[in-house]
Amino acid sequence: MSKLMSRLGGLIVMVSANAFAEYGFNMTKGVSSVARDIYGLHMMVFWICVAIALIVFSVMIYSLIVHRKSQGVVAANFHESTKAELLWTGIPIIILVLMAIPASSVLIDLEDTSKAQMTIKITGHQWKWQYDYPKEGISFISNLKQGSKDVIYSGNRHKNYLLEVDNNLVLPVDTPIRFLITSNDVIHSWWVPDFGVKQDANPGFINDAWVQIDEIGIYRGQCTELCGKDHGFMPIVVDVVSKADYAKWVSKQQAAKAVTLAKSSKTWGEEELISLGQKVYNTSCASCHGITGKGIPGVFPALKGSPIATGDIKKHISIVLHGKTGTAMAGYKNMLGDSDIAAVITFERTAFGNQMGDLIQPAQIKAAR
């Protein structure tokens, strides 16, 4: 009996789950028409399953209570009924067809990206996202925020722990947006539950998806395809703003880009290079090569005393710019600016006891590109 109670209890929990959706029992209703349609389908199929479960389990539970030997029941001997079998083959088919019709129409809508008015290119990297606004000429990398990284192993974990990044993706509200999604290394998957968008990022191929966001706000998601060591540490944060604010943000980004360009043409001092280099190293390199440059033996090579970091500068610049084919080492040509690359190479050749004492200037990187 207590078995039956525990199952019934389970069902009650599932039903009340619906009423407490905001406490993280159920799927989000989301902020786009696609997400709402998906939620509707999800709830429809869920209630159909609950209804079938109630019928089947009630019959079974009734039988378990009534048809027992201890009640003095003598077993019947029937073991076939063509009528019953036709019925329980036919009825499920009808139910399935009724489910398939709305599911097909939602699917066709969510795969049709032709109505989009703007395009964002999303590139997955181990373990960060890169966002490109091709028309606006904006491009940036979005890493897990340092505040979260600092408390992974110990400390007080705050709200949005592991769901915050250094550079949010900024999008305008009420605009049909197309995402072009790809990857630079392994397969990732870009998922923001509130948008109803989950699309794999495949290296060498471009997938698409679309969304029109109805409400201003901040929406969070995560990578959902196992992509190696830090798969759990590459969140997505989207800042959805009004169209006017979006236009302001775009011009601010374009202005900032000009400043960065100007900086890269001056000559940098040692301290400047090393302090910027350490920052860049910690966000872009440390997840593989380690904060102390020791790497992971057999998986990621160490930089401490490595032949590249203590050898020919040209080779060092080349590997950072172009990566190394056949390994996890990516090229940073399109991810980092000249100053960042110059700084990080300077840092790598100075830190971890490498003590090479070279200063690499942004101009050298520009020339090597």
Partner 1 sequence: MTTVTDHTDDGHHGPEKGLMRWIKTTNHKDIGSLYLWFAFVMLLIGGAMAMVIRMELFQPGMQLSEPQFFNQMTTMHGLIMVFGAVMPAFVGLGNWLIPMMIGAPDMALPRMNNWSFWILPFAGGILLSTFFMEGGAPAFGWTFYAPLSTTFAPDSTDFFIFAVHLLGFSSIMGAINIIATVLNMRAPEMKLMDMPLFVWTWLITSFLLIGAMPVLAGAVTMMLTDRNFGTAFFDATGGGDPVLFQHIFWFFGHPEVYIMILPAFGVVSHIIPTFARKPLFGYSSMVYASASIAFLSYIVWGHHMFSTGMPVAGELYFMYATMLIAVPTGVKVFNWVSTMWRGSMTFETPMLWAISFVFLFTIGGFSGLMLGIVPADIQYQDTYFVVAHFHYVLVTGALWAIIAATFYWLPKWTGKMYNETLAKVHFWWAVISVNVLFFPQHFLGLAGMPRRIPDYSLQFADFNMISSIGGFAFGASFILFTYILIDCIRNGKPADARPWEGAKGLEWTLEPKAQYHSFNIPPTKVLIEQESQNS
Closer CB to partner 1, residue 126 or residue 350?
126
Give the Cα separation of 187 and 275 in Å (integer): 33
Both tokens of residue 96?
Answer: 């399935």
State the nearest-atom distance from the C-beta of 78 to partner 1, in Å. 8
Q: How far is CA 150 from CA 153, 158, 161, in A?
A: 8, 11, 10
107 versus 313: smaller Cβ distance to partner 1: 107
Give the torsion sign (CA, 97, 102, 107, 112). positive
We find the least distance from the C-beta atom of residue 168 to partner 1, in angstroms, to be 16
Q: Rounded to the nearest whole angstrom, what is the least distance from the CB of residue 119 to partner 1 in the complex?
A: 16
In terms of CB distance, is 6 or 355 closer to partner 1? 6
In the complex, minimum distance from the CB of residue 253 to partner 1, in angstroms, rounded to a whole number: 28
Please, what's the b/e burial string for 295-320 (b: 16 or more CB within 10 A of its CB; e: otherwise)?
Answer: beeeebbbbbebebbbeeeeebbebb
Which lies closer to partner 1 via its Cβ, residue 224 or residue 318?
A: 224
126 vs 284 by CB, closer to partner 1: 126
Q: How far apart are CA 280 and CA 267, in angstroms?
A: 18
Q: Give the nearest distance from C-beta 150 to partner 1 in angstroms.
A: 11
Q: Which is nearer to partner 1, 98 or 261 (CB)?
A: 98
End-to-end CA gap in the chain: 74
In the complex, minimum distance from the CB of residue 63 to partner 1, in angstroms, rounded to a whole number: 5
Q: Which residues, in sequence order, are CB contacts of 239 under 8 Å at separation 6+?
A: 168, 169, 170, 171, 218
Give the residue carrying structure tokens 């329980």: 88
Q: Which is nearer to partner 1, 85 or 270 (CB)?
A: 85
> In this complex, which beta carbon is closest to partner 1, that of residue 181 or of residue 273?
181
Q: Mind giving me the DSSP string for 119-187?
A: EEEEEEETTEEEEEETTTTEEEEE-B-HHHHTTSSSS---TTTTS-BSS-EEEETT-EEEEEEEESSS-
| Site of tokens 């971890």 | 352
Closest approach, Cβ 291 to partner 1, in A, equals 13
Q: How far is the CB of 305 from partner 1 (least distance, A)?
A: 18
The length of the chain, given as a count of residues: 369
Query: Do 222 and 194 meet the contact criterion of CB atoms below 8 Å apart?
Result: no
Let me know the angle formed at the C-alpha of 60 by 55 and 64, rounded to the nearest 5 degrees: 150
For the bound state, the minimum distance from the C-beta of residue 25 to partner 1, rounded and expressed in Å, comes to 5
Is the four-CA dihedral 322, 326, 327, 330 of positive or negative sign? positive
Residue 213, helix vs strand vs coil:
strand
Q: Which is nearer to partner 1, 109 or 358 (CB)?
A: 109
Tell me, rounded to whole angstroms, the distance of Cα 247 from its chain centroid.
26
> Rounded distance, CA 341 to CA 335, Å?
10
